[in-house]
Amino acid sequence: MAHTYDVAVVGGGPAGSTCAAFCAESGLKTLLLEKAIFPREKVCGDCLNPGCRPILDRLGLTEGVLTLPHSKLAEVEFIGLRGQSAKFALNANEHGEIAVKRSQFDHLLLQHAGECGAEIRQNAAVTSIERGWRIRVGDECISAKKVVAADGRNSTVARLLGLLPSSKKDRVALQTHLPLPRDFGNRVVLRFLPDGYCGMSSVGNDQLNLCLVGKPHHIDALKKWAEAQFAIAPDHSWRTITPLARRAIAPAHENLFFIGDAARVVEPFTGEGIYYALASGELAARHLIAHSPPADYAREHALLYRDRLWVNEIAKRAVMQPRLGSLTLDLLRLNPAVLRFLTGKIVGNALR
């Protein structure tokens, strides 16, 4: 007879792998279901916020991450519509902000969850779920006492349970890796464009991560801008994702936890999504291991975001209206201490 898992984690991104690793390590019979086959790339700026470091330490993965090809980012630059810019130096060391390809970072985390004792199934898309819990993957029906939805911003678990908020007409992101332009250096650049914004960061010594974000009807214009700027062929294939923002989902339900983007999506401009994925994955694992009431996880999940979600909200307002965002940059350039404070709220000690 098929056995029942203590925990079934749906999605093997940073949130799911972190949660599965801690659950399995504590002795819970843990299954992780991932629809893709790793390594796989992902629409992301590839930047790891310094807040990830203590969680990677607790996972025992810091050294592993630092052996992957990565950039230690030495500068963050904001560029307005007229080319006006504000720059801040970052501490370019392993405690600072680094950039690493998601294919490699996510694969390392997934493998680690397996090494901690989680059963990992790839190429295993969840297609139906019934309370109780009975989860369908292909022809197989899997039983679990608790489910963790870690399946990203378009969470299938949330959709199947009627919990996914509508996000019609939201913005679209395009992402690609390109050869690193000469003289780009180890930095992250956030640039307002008339039709959206663009994020660029060096990844390793030889790659540039390029993200474009805009409304669906502006995406072609953004792409044309990037093609001219970086000599990209018109038939270049971009990765794409939508929505960029949507309402949050209550993170705790009876025997059901939402973590990472599945629970709450933050504006990518500040490059914090992976941090929240790791942190909420670890938090959910702690509550699963302790069998605490759902309300306890919900309360601590809210606290996780409380300190700096407001900075992310400001960033979101700025990028939703690039002209206004660029004007705000003008004002902040007159008063750099404010922009420095806001940047420091996000990157913490990495700011020099």
Ligand X SMILES: Cc1cc2nc3c(=O)[nH]c(=O)nc-3n(C[C@H](O)[C@H](O)[C@H](O)COP(=O)(O)OP(=O)(O)OC[C@H]3O[C@@H](n4cnc5c(N)ncnc54)[C@H](O)[C@@H]3O)c2cc1C
Residues in the site for ligand X, rule: CB under 6 A? Answer: 10-16, 33-36, 42-47, 49, 125-126, 150-152, 156, 173, 175, 211, 213, 241, 244, 260-262, 268, 271-275, 277
Least separation, in Å, of the C-beta of 170 and ligand X? Answer: 11
DSSP symbols for 235-278: T---EEE--S------SEETTEEE-HHHH----GGG--HHHHHH
Least separation, in Å, of the C-beta of 335 and ligand X? Answer: 26
Q: 8, 136 in Cβ contact below 8 A?
A: no
Give the three-state DSSP class for 86.
strand
Per the listing, tokens 């489910």 go with: 147
Q: 188, 182 in Cβ contact below 8 A?
A: no
Least separation, in Å, of the C-beta of 26 and ligand X? Answer: 20
DSSP, res 44:
S
Phi, psi of 225 (to 5 degrees): -60, -45
Instruction: Quote the Cα angle for 14-285-137, to 5°.
Output: 65
- What angle, rounded to 10 degrees, do the helices at 52-59 and 14-25 form? 40
Least separation, in Å, of the C-beta of 110 and ligand X? Answer: 9
Instruction: Using the minimum distance from each CB to ligand X, give the nearer residue, 244 or 329.
Output: 244
Instruction: Using the minimum distance from each CB to ligand X, give the nearer residue, 69 or 336.
Output: 69
Least separation, in Å, of the C-beta of 171 and ligand X? Answer: 9
Instruction: Using the minimum distance from each CB to ligand X, give the nearer residue, 314 or 327.
Output: 314
**Which positions ≥6 away from 191 have C-beta within 8 Å?**
78, 79, 197, 198, 199, 200
Listed in sequence order, the DSSP H helices in the chain are 14-25, 52-59, 62-67, 102-115, 156-160, 219-230, 260-263, 273-290, 294-306, 309-320, 322-334, 336-347
Instruction: Using the minimum distance from each CB to ligand X, give the nearer residue, 55 or 126.
Output: 126
Burial 120-132 (b: 16+ CB within 10 A, else e): beeebebeebeee
Instruction: Using the minimum distance from each CB to ligand X, give the nearer residue, 245 or 327.
Output: 245
Least separation, in Å, of the C-beta of 316 and ligand X? Answer: 13
Max CA distance (Å), the chain: 69
Instruction: Using the minimum distance from each CB to ligand X, give the nearer residue, 117 or 243.
Output: 243
**Which positions ≥6 away from 302 have C-beta within 8 Å?**
none
Instruction: Using the minimum distance from each CB to ligand X, give the nearer residue, 64 or 327.
Output: 64
Least separation, in Å, of the C-beta of 337 and ligand X? Answer: 25
Least separation, in Å, of the C-beta of 334 and ligand X? Answer: 28
Instruction: Using the minimum distance from each CB to ligand X, give the nearer residue, 57 or 330.
Output: 57
Instruction: Using the minimum distance from each CB to ligand X, give the nearer residue, 38 or 329.
Output: 38
Least separation, in Å, of the C-beta of 40 and ligand X? Answer: 7
